[in-house]
Amino acid sequence: MKILILGAGQVGSSAAYHLSHEEANEVTVVDMRPDVLRELQDRLDIRTVVGHAAYPDVLERAGANDADIIIALTDSDETNLVACQVAYTLYHTPTKIARIRAAEYMNAKALFTQDAFPVDLRISPEQLVCEYVEQLILYPGALQVLEFAGGRVRLVGAMADRNGPMVGQKLSVLKQHLPNAEGRIAAIYRDGTARELQGDTVIEEGDEVFFVAARQDVRVFMSEMRKLEEPVRRVVIAGGGNIGLRLALALEQTNQVKIIERDPRRAKIISEQLNKSIVLVGDAADEELLLEENIDNVDVFCGLTNAEEANILSAMLAKRLGAHKVMALINRASYVELVESGTIDIAISPQQVTIGSLLAHVRRGDVVKVHSLRRGEAEAIEAIAHGTKESSRVVGRRIDEIDLPRGTSIVAVVRGDEVSVAHHDTVIETDDHVIMFMTDRRKIERLEELFQVDVAFV
Amino acid sequence: MNWTVAQRILGLLLMFFSLTMLTPLIFSLVFRGEAWLSFVESFVLTLSAGFIIWLPVRNARKELRLRDGFLVVASFWIVLGLFGALPFYLTHNPAMSFTDAVFESMSGLTTTGATVLTGLDTLPKSILYYRQQLQWLGGMGIIVLAVAVLPMLGVGGMQLYRAETPGPVKDTKLTPRVTETAKALWYVYLAFTILCVLGYLFAGMNWFDALCHAFATVAIGGFSTHDLSLAYYNSTAVNLVAVVFMFVAGINFSLHFFTWRYLNVRHYFDNPEFRAYVFVLVSVSVVVIVGLLWTGTYADPEDGIINGLFQAVSIATTTGFTTADFPSWPGALPVILIFASFIGGCAGSTAGGIKVVRCLLIYKQGVREIVRLVHPSAEIPVKLGRQAVPVRVIDAVWGFFSVYLIVFGVMMMAMMATGLDQVTAFSAVTLTLNNLGAGLGDVAAGFVAVNDSAKWIAITAMLLGRLEIFTLLVLVTPTFWRR
């Protein structure tokens, strides 16, 4: 697939990284800064073009003529919109994805039609990150909460601790523990590597367990892995930027929210938009300020400023001062690895959150949703099975008859509104949403082939 | 430094190279089975050497860093020169010493075209074909070929590609994937080779000679299957076909690619390097032809024009085919030709020399200094076409130029120290460092009469010229090895 990425910022470079590592893709990146591009081209097997991302001649040089997807990720909404318009009008690019930051554009849904702004998918990394953090706060104890099938199914990652009833037990016991709940274990990571799952695999303390469950059953499953935590009440957010403000707005009805912002003018602006939250002017790494605001009683502290170093340090400080759980927004993948084994409970990587929504559009076959996990090494995919038993290699077959690549498992099947956990004898029907977990993403092409309908039979 | 990864790729490349020894075997069997044993032996030796290098590290799969790229490319070319020499060394006709065998192989691979053999017309056809094939593989770059056909080189392919391709700016890719870029280049190269074979056939060569000479022409090599080189045919048609394809092969191959992709020749004329290249070739040809006619070197003016044109294109593109005894031409003509070879072909072509674009940039800098004298406070960027050239590139060009001159001086003095006279030493270094292959003085007819130490210096110079000095030179600097 020929992919054109506009903007080599954080989101743009990580999209280029992920997409160019898949053999089938040819990636071209456009940016105004030659030094950034040179550095990117040293690391990745991509082509780069220097120039303004929305100018027709630049797009033409970058090969917009035969591009399959254009992904506009510059930090200017206007540039992204115009670039998609240009690509549509001049080059008839089939799929156009634009990053839109301003909620004002995002909310005006009528704008995004073929005769206004022809954008097929709008992504807002800020909004995605905000929703992601919101889920984590909704399910305390979870490391990751990802939605499938319009929210009917959730994939949850959690650390097993010694208080969970399932810890020290074989997987086959789970069904006896929870006879009425729909869900199953999708993967277990021990010491950073995925374990093969069998009926007699034992969950140990410290394992990172991923499970799928219907929305209403997430809590009971969680309680099997670890002691269920109290619902979150008090939240402190460091950084009143786009993400911080959105999160505060989303949480302030149900939680006590305090938000710390360094810039007095910005603090004034957000305080006017927020109704119940308390806006504090000051430094999030100021010990006095944190103590004064009873940091030791806080359930969750989120470091969400623009500076990742500041997020890490303020989160570590809050943890030492007694905050129950701390999260930090971290862009650099190497920092995420450093931090996750330490005092910080959850590292939030905006790239990883964003990349999934891009990947869903790049995948061949009818892929609805992709979540990138464990720094892109694993992937959870929701795909729709099409065709008949003759034209498809999935439909009409029992799960143990499907030739899945190694490390891939079908974990759940959604048929209409009904969620069912996949068993070896579940038969896939046409139009089923099949949810899969893949521990080795390099096998993705084989999976894509599996879900493609054989044209000869259509 | 990633020793194991570099070693793994080196082993793979060597095994890959061993396959190219099988095609001469076919020729050997077709033509009375001469020298077949030496090819079989060389194939087995090279394959097993590659296998032994590869086997202990076959699972090393880290990403190749920039430095490893230099290491792989430079060491592979050295190893390639040695293993490529095996068929020459093992065969009895011609009986060659180790030095001579390495010289011949390196001269082929670097597309220099200087030879230590005489009596080419009586040699086995398989050996003759093998020499031409070495040139053909070396022309576009055997590593570029490997990047195109061996997918497992992956991301590191770019590092290798960059260390082997000539020119000051190497980041421009024709396609997003480096494997696709390498493939595109080889397709264009292959297409020109086929056209060239057809051209020679049409001009009256037999098919074996047409194939062999086409290899040497599009690679800008200069090896021939006859002692007389192209003069053997004494045919204007052959000469013109050669002129056309030498000219084409001296152009940046990415321009050919874009022309083919967009079916539009404007890419050539928009390119300042191409225009400068044409300008150089035309002016050298005109000067030489006028010189020949003026002095009446040839009784028939038509001979003067054809020979003048042919030699000008052949020497200025660093091919080194000869149709005339140009070293004995009158006045400054031989030296003009030799100096033109310093400019060489375009960046990204198969030609040697300093490359037209670098000379153009140096010239433009000179002009800029003159303008600056008149307008001391003017801001004057150096431009290629409509685009300003980054200062970094200009610095790199100057660095390259000065190192080229220093290497030249050192090599020439070393040659003289081995006992060569001044003209011979000068021309020997020129013809090897520029990958030219045809020279003046005692090396006019090849390196047959030259002593062994001078041959080793020449081997080094050819390699330095093909890898544009820095790729090889960087390996002998302490900075490279510092951890």
Q: Which of A26, A41, A48 sits opposite B177 (nearest CB)?
A: A26
Q: What is the CA radius of gyration of chain B?
A: 22
Kindly list the residues from chain A whose CB atom is less than 8 angstroms away from the CB atom of residue B178. Answer: 45
Question: From edge to edge, which strands make up the β-sheet containing A433-438?
Answer: A367-373, A378-384, A433-438, A408-415, A418-421
Q: Give dist(CA A121, CA A112) in Å, integer.
A: 9
DSSP per-residue codes, B12-50: HHHHHHHHTTHHHHHHHHHTTTTTHHHHHHHHHHHHHHH
- Would the CB atoms of B176 and A47 count as touching at under 8 Å? yes
Which tens digits make up the pLDDT trace of A5-53? 999 988 888 889 888 887 778 899 999 998 898 888 888 888 889 999 9
Give the pLDDT confidence score for residue B52 in this predicted structure: 94
CA distance A45 to chain B (A): 6
pLDDT greater than 90 at residue B438:
no
From A164-178, B84-98, B414-428, the region with the lowest mean pLDDT = A164-178
Which tens digits make up the pLDDT trace of B421-430? 998 899 999 9
Kindly list the residues from chain A whose CB atom is less than 8 angstroms away from the CB atom of residue B157. Answer: 45
Q: What is the CA radius of gyration of chain A?
A: 23
Handedness of CA B410, B415, B418, B421 (dihedral sign): negative
- Would the CB atoms of A26 and B176 count as touching at under 8 Å? yes
Peptide bond just before B390 cis, omega within 30 deg: no
- Would the CB atoms of A38 and B66 count as touching at under 8 Å? no
Give the pLDDT confidence score for residue B387 in this predicted structure: 82
- Any A CB within 8 A of B177 CB: yes
Extract the tokens encoding A127: 């909004």
Give the pLDDT confidence score for residue B156 in this predicted structure: 61
* % of residues, chain B, pLDDT over 70: 97
- Would the CB atoms of A45 and B177 count as touching at under 8 Å? yes
Query: What does pTM read for this prediction?
Result: 0.81
Is A418 buried (19+), middle (13-18) or exposed (0-12) by CB count in 10 A?
exposed
Mean pLDDT of B17-29: 88
Extract the tokens encoding B439: 């020279």
Q: Give dist(CA B123, CA B226) in Å, integer.
A: 10
Give the pLDDT confidence score for residue A220 in this predicted structure: 83
Helix (H) or strand (E) segment spanning residue A202: none
Q: Which residue has the higher pLDDT, B277 or A218?
A: B277
- Any B CB within 8 A of A42 CB: yes
pLDDT greater than 90 at residue B100:
yes
- Would the CB atoms of A42 and B66 count as touching at under 8 Å? yes
Is A151 buried (19+), middle (13-18) or exposed (0-12) by CB count in 10 A?
exposed
* CA-to-CA dists, residue B184 to A302, A351, B181, B249, B470, angstroms: 51, 34, 5, 15, 26
Which tens digits make up the pLDDT trace of B146-174? 777 776 655 566 777 777 777 776 666 77
Q: Are strands A433-438 and A418-421 parallel, antiparallel or unpaired?
A: unpaired
Give the pLDDT confidence score for residue A168 in this predicted structure: 81
The reply to whether ipTM tops 0.85 is no
Kindly list the residues from chain A whose CB atom is less than 8 angstroms away from the CB atom of residue B177. Answer: 26, 45
DSSP per-residue codes, A362-429: HSSSSEEEEEEEGGGTEEEEEEE--S-TTT-SSTT-BGGGS-PPTTEEEEEEEETTEEEE--TTPBP-
Q: Give dist(CA B339, CA A137) in Å, integer.
A: 75
Q: Which residue has the higher pLDDT, B194 or A20?
A: B194
Give the pLDDT confidence score for residue A238 in this predicted structure: 93
Mean pLDDT of A365-380: 80
- Would the CB atoms of B155 and A45 count as touching at under 8 Å? yes
Mean pLDDT of A421-438: 84
Mean pLDDT of A312-336: 88
CB atoms within 10 A of CB A263: 12
Q: Give dist(CA B216, CA B252) in Å, integer.
A: 17
- Any B CB within 8 A of A64 CB: no
Q: Give dist(CA B352, CA B386) in Å, integer.
A: 27
From A81-90, A150-159, A193-202, B343-352, the region with the lowest mean pLDDT = A193-202
- Any B CB within 8 A of A41 CB: yes
- Any A CB within 8 A of B178 CB: yes
Extract the tokens encoding B6: 């570099």
Interface mutation target, options A42, A45, A57, A70, chain B, most CBs of B under 10 Å: A45
Q: Give dist(CA A178, CA A221) in Å, integer.
A: 8
- Any B CB within 8 A of A309 CB: no
- B120: CB partners within 8 A, 6+ apart: B128, B224, B225, B226, B227
| Chain A: residue whose CA lies nearest to B157 | A45
From A61-75, A114-128, B195-209, B278-292, the region with the lowest mean pLDDT = A114-128
CA distance A87 to chain B (A): 19
At A400, is the pLDDT very low, low, confident or very high (cuts 50, 70, 90)?
confident
From A228-237, A444-453, B358-367, the region with the lowest mean pLDDT = A444-453
Extract the tokens encoding A30: 């456009």
Provide the phi-psi class of A45: left if phi over 0, else alpha when psi is between -120 and 50, else beta: beta
Q: Which of B158, B171, B390 sits opposite A45 (nearest CB)?
A: B158
Secondary structure (3-state) at A48: strand
Interface mutation target, options A5, A22, A47, chain B, most CBs of B under 10 Å: A47
CA distance A346 to chain B (A): 29
| Chain A: residue whose CA lies nearest to B180 | A26
Across chain A, mean pLDDT equals 85
Q: Give dist(CA B399, CA B393) in Å, integer.
A: 10
Write down the residue that tokens 């038969």 correspond to: A427
Q: Are strands A408-415 and A418-421 parallel, antiparallel or unpaired?
A: antiparallel
- Any A CB within 8 A of B32 CB: no
Name the nearest CA neighbour of A405 among A438, A367, A372. A438
Strands (E), B296-450: 383-384, 387-388
pLDDT greater than 50 at residue A458:
no
Give the pLDDT confidence score for residue A448 in this predicted structure: 81
End-to-end Cα spacing for chain B: 8
Given a contact cutoff of 8 angstroms between Cβ atoms, the answer to whether B141 and B134 are in contact is no
- Would the CB atoms of A47 and B175 count as touching at under 8 Å? yes
CA distance B173 to chain A (A): 6
